[in-house]
């Protein structure tokens, strides 16, 4: 594959956007907090006092180990109500499942995606780690009433981790559990990318979780992968292993072209991914392999279509093990050397130095760190690096360790980075990232008035949501002027990028200061709230035909739907030329045909705009000339015919009839009357028209001439007879609503819109009406509210979870007997002891090999790895050797001398020294 030209605008159709992220890592509960810790070089590790390592050395000295782990804050706390779980269900679901669900939901919020209202297909790929919660539930089953094995399985097994998210958040695309040990989350990203490219889904979540509650004790084995000093020193000469950590990380992915077209916030671009396995070309099942790692890195670069020299940072797997780091650095160098001979140009680091090794979530931690670095254009420090590991020649490699916060200047092309994750068992993953391309700004909005909508599960959560948004708006404004366009983007993100929950509030605001002031005070008059789950009510449109009203020139210029409806009226009237020369002029209240057409166009256009926005009537009622607008909206009368009838009406002096009933009957008879799409309520009859009455020209003539308030009241009473009916006056004024308010049938269950608002701003008044309709449960088509203008999604605060503690504690076990001496023959008392009291090296070593590997005997020339040994078994062998002989050897000694005879020589040399 040829390399690209490094043109940041080049779009191959295979690029994937990261549009949202969420995480829980030690010391941070959000990507923003995570970045602050990374940039400040914070080590989020909890340590206890050093303790002796079980089994003293033969020379009588005692090793000490510092227990250390990256812990999450309150991982057992969960907002069960938000996700629709009872307290009993919440206790039976493992904290790992629960936190993964929380992060998936937060990631969607971060991306501004609501699957319930999106046209896209959503998928999810992810996995977890073994945490033992199911065993705890079984051990304490007697204390958990009526708990079944089935419930325990569903609440804890990794098979159900991602499908639980799909069920709760409404995903209909692939929901696939990934399980590849430490590379799980990055393999999940690779699979999500493939699903997007093949069209299996349009939006994909990827990530993993490793959550232990109560906290896990990392088992220390001398010579193993856990650091004795409790400190992860990746790439350092003093590196002695990693430390454990808990964490959850989830990213939201979308095809880049779709993300840009949808106005999504692109955090970074995935240029290419690859996965493979080391296979058999390594010294043990748990050992890493150079060739496999080099191959997966190169494959990702080729998939990305980029030159290795364009990569400025690598987030390494970086476990700080004496074996792992040199192998990884060697593999990286081999892959990069396919493209470049440059040295020291690419920074490298490991997030494990900050938070520990988060197991299945390790790749997600590295990925999120790297995305944040690309966003902030800075490379955070990799901690505890003093002197380079002598087993790798950094000076001859492309890499240098980022030991402090480092500016990331742009070179010839866009900033690029890479992330690695390697799982025990050999499954490797590598991802090539690129900084986000420049994003198109949102179009200027038509008005300075904006409708902010908020929702939550409870009134307290709603208040917290409003205050969080107020704080965010103030902070954004403090960084620079928050433009009117950006405030419109905020409104758009709230309207389309959040789930619509039961407790709701809205505010019509003009500017950032106004918005922050209204949102910060829950009792502010500008914040209209509803604390009960909305039950959408039927809506009746009212048309008064009030004279003196005409179409709005401002709305005609800025709202496509409104303009289309007015233009239909102009065309029916035979009007040509500039719109402001005809019906858009403020009409005189003189009963002229111009005034009648203007009034009709005004009501018809507003009504059709409401319908375009998703506010559809279940009935219409018109009085006087408004009858024709009602008939046109109900599709009982074509617009052309309605305007023609109006044009046929003669001018009248004040108080005179519009026209004779006979002439109007003839006009309606010539029109194309047809059954309406929604019921038409007759003011004269006080009920909906029958199909026969709808096509009766005489009825329409009488209705068009009817302006008797008594008769109109009968029609309103019919509409108010149903509970919770909404009456919406299409003109935006209130002549019919004022009359409706006096009817005895009108109660608090009815909503009369628009409500009187102290604003001369027609747009603000209409947004207020729309807010009240949304509060009532209306399914608003927000794209049309913004007049079809291109809007962007912007970052907004996460949902304020109201958590409670849900945890089944492990049963208290009696103190275990000391089993540190191992099993089988004790080499210290076996035959072959020298005169010094020290056992003979080779015979004793053969006994240890047999004991650890499970053979009856082992010969001096047998190869440790041919017998089935690996790095973990080597760790146990080294631990036993150190118990018997007063020597300091490590796992590397076993790798360098795999035959017992060779290792015996090494031990004898150390004893002599």
Active site residues: 182, 317, 357
Which residues, 6+ apart, have CB-to-CB distance to 501 below 8 Å? 455, 456, 457
Q: What is the DSSP string of 264-296?
A: ----EEEEEEEEEE-TT-SSSTTS--HHHHHHH
Q: Are 773 and 439 in contact (CB under 8 A)?
A: no
Q: Are 778 and 615 in contact (CB under 8 A)?
A: yes
Q: Is residue 910 exposed (0-12), middle (13-18) or buried (19+ Cβ within 10 Å)?
A: middle
Q: Which letter, b or e, does each residue of 675-686 get, where b requires 16 or more Cβ atoms within 10 Å of its Cβ?
A: ebebbbbbbbbb
Alpha helices in 751-799, H assignment, sequence order: 762-775, 782-785
Alpha helices in 459-592, H assignment, sequence order: 459-479, 484-496, 512-520, 553-558, 560-572
Alpha helices in 132-200, H assignment, sequence order: 133-139, 149-156, 161-169, 184-197
Q: Is residue 199 exposed (0-12), middle (13-18) or buried (19+ Cβ within 10 Å)?
A: exposed
Q: Are 129 and 96 in contact (CB under 8 A)?
A: yes
Six token digits for residue 200:
């299996």
Name the strand (E) or helix (H) holding 803.
none
In the chain the first and final C-alpha atoms are separated, in Å, by: 56
The torsion of the CA quartet 902, 905, 907, 912, rounded to 10 degrees, works out to -170
Q: Are 844 and 18 in contact (CB under 8 A)?
A: no
What 3-state DSSP class applies to 821?
Answer: coil
Q: Are 674 and 635 in contact (CB under 8 A)?
A: yes
Q: Classify strands 268-277 and 427-435 as parallel, antiparallel or unpaired.
A: antiparallel
Which residues, 6+ apart, have CB-to-CB distance to 852 below 8 Å? 869, 873, 876, 877, 880
- The rounded distance, in Å, linking the Cα atoms of 137 and 118 is 38
Which residue carries 């995606």 as its tokens? 113
Helix, strand, coil share (%) of the chain residues, nearest 5: 40, 15, 45
Which residue carries 């979530």 as its tokens? 361
Six token digits for residue 559:
């709202």
- The rounded distance, in Å, linking the Cα atoms of 26 and 44 is 6
Residue 350 is classified by DSSP as -
What 3-state DSSP class applies to 322?
Answer: coil
Residue 492 is classified by DSSP as H
Other beta carbons within 10 angstroms of residue 796's beta carbon come to 20
- The rounded distance, in Å, linking the Cα atoms of 396 and 418 is 20
Cis before 214? omega within 30 = yes
The sign of the CA dihedral 686, 690, 692, 696 is positive
Per-residue three-class SS string for 672-715: CCCCCCCCEEECCCCEECCHHHHCCHHHHHHHHHCCCHHHHHHH
Q: Which letter, b or e, does each residue of 149-186 get, where b requires 16 or more Cβ atoms within 10 Å of its Cβ?
A: eebbebbbebebbbebbbeebebebbbbbbbbbbbbbb
């Amino acid at each position: 594959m040829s390399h690209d030209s490094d043109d940041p605008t080049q779009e191959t159709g295979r690029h994937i956007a990261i549009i949202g992220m969420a995480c829980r890592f030690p010391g941070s509960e959000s990507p923003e907090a995570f970045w602050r810790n990374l940039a400040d070089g914070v080590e989020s590790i909890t340590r206890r006092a050093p303790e002796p390592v079980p089994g003293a050395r033969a020379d009588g000295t005692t090793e000490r180990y510092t227990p250390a782990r990256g812990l999450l804050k309150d991982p057992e706390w969960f907002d069960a109500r938000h996700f629709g779980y009872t307290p009993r269900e919440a206790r039976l679901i493992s904290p790992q499942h629960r936190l993964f669900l929380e992060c998936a939901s937060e990631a969607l919020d971060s991306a501004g995606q609501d699957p319930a209202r999106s046209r896209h297909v959503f998928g999810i790929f992810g996995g977890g780690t073994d945490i033992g919660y199911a065993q705890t539930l079984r051990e304490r089953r007697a204390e958990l009433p009526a708990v079944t094995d089935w419930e325990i399985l569903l609440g804890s097994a990794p098979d159900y981790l991602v499908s639980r998210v799909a069920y709760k958040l409404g995903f209909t695309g692939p929901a696939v559990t990934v399980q590849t040990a430490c590379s799980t989350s990055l393999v999940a990203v690779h699979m999500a990318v493939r699903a997007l490219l093949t069209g299996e889904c349009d939006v994909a979540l990827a990530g993993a979780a490793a959550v232990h509650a109560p906290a896990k004790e990392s088992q220390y084995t001398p010579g193993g992968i856990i650091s004795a000093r409790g400190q992860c020193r990746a790439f350092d000469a003093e590196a002695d292993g990693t430390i454990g950590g808990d964490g959850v990380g989830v990213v939201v992915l979308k095809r880049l072209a779709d993300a840009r077209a949808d106005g999504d916030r692109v955090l970074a671009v995935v240029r290419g991914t690859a996965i493979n396995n080391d296979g058999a070309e390594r010294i043990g099942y748990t050992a890493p392999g150079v060739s496999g790692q080099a191959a997966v890195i190169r494959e990702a670069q080729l998939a990305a279509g980029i030159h290795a020299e364009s990569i400025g940072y690598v987030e390494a797997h970086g476990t700080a093990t004496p074996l792992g780091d040199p192998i990884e650095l060697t593999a990286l160098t081999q892959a990069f050397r396919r493209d470049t001979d440059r040295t020291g140009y690419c920074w490298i680091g490991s997030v494990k130095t900050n938070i520990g090794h988060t197991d299945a979530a390790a790749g997600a931690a590295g990925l999120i760190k790297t995305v944040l670095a690309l966003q902030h254009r800075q490379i955070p420090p990799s901690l505890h690096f003093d002197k380079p590991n002598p087993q790798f020649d950094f000076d001859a490699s492309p890499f240098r360790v980022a030991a402090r916060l480092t500016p990331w200047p742009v070179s010839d092309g866009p900033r690029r980075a890479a992330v690695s994750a390697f799982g025990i068992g050999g499954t490797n993953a590598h991802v090539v990232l690129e900084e986000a391309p420049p994003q198109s700004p949102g179009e200027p909005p038509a008005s300075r008035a904006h409708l902010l909508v908020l929702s939550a599960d409870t009134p307290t959560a709603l208040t917290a949501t409003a205050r969080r948004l107020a704080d965010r708006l103030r902070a954004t404004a403090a960084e620079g002027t928050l433009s009117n366009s950006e405030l419109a983007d905020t409104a758009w993100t709230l309207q389309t990028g959040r789930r619509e929950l039961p407790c709701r509030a809205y505010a019509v605001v003009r500017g950032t200061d106004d918005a922050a002031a209204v949102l910060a005070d829950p009792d502010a008059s500008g914040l209209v709230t509803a604390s009960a789950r909305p039950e959408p009510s039927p809506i009746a449109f009212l048309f008064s035909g009030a004279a003196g009203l005409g179409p709005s020139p401002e709305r005609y210029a800025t709202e496509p739907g409104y303009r289309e409806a007015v233009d239909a009226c102009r065309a029916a009237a035979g009007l040509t030329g500039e719109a402001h020369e005809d019906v858009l002029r403020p009409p005189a209240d003189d009963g002229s045909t111009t005034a009648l057409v203007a009034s009709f166009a005004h009501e018809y256009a507003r009504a059709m705009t409401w319908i375009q926005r998703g506010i559809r009537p279940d009935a219409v009622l018109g009085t006087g000339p408004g009858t024709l607008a009602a008939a046109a909206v109900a599709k009982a009368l074509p617009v052309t015919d309605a305007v023609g009838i109006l044009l046929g009406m003669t001018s009248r002096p004040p108080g005179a009839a519009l026209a004779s009933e006979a002439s109007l009957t003839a006009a309606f008879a010539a029109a194309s009357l047809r059954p309406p799409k929604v019921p038409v309520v007759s003011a004269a009859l006080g009920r909906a028209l029958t199909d026969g009455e709808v096509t009766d020209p005489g009825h329409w003539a009488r209705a068009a001439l009817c302006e008797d308030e008594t008769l109109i009241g009968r029609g309103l009473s019919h509409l108010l007879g149903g509970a919770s009916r909404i009456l919406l006056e299409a003109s935006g004024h209130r002549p019919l609503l004022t009359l409706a308010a006096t009817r005895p049938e009108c109660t608090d269950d009815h909503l009369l819109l628009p409500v009187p608002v102290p604003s001369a701003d027609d747009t603000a008044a209409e947004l207020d009406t729309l807010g009240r309709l949304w509060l009532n449960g209306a399914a608003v088509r927000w794209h049309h509210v913004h007049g079809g203008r291109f809007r962007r999604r912007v970052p907004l605060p996460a949902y304020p979870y109201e958590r409670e503690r849900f945890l089944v504690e492990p049963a208290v076990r009696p103190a275990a007997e000391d089993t540190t001496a191992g099993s089988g023959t004790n080499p210290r008392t076996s035959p072959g002891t020298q005169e010094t009291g020290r056992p003979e090296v080779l015979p004793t070593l053969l006994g240890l090999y047999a004991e650890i590997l499970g053979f009856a005997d082992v010969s001096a020339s047998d190869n440790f790895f041919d017998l089935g040994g690996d790095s973990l078994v080597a760790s146990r062998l080294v631990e036993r050797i150190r118990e018997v002989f007063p020597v300091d050897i490590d796992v590397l000694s076993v790798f360098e001398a795999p035959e017992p005879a060779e290792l015996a020589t090494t031990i004898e040399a150390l004893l002599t020294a």
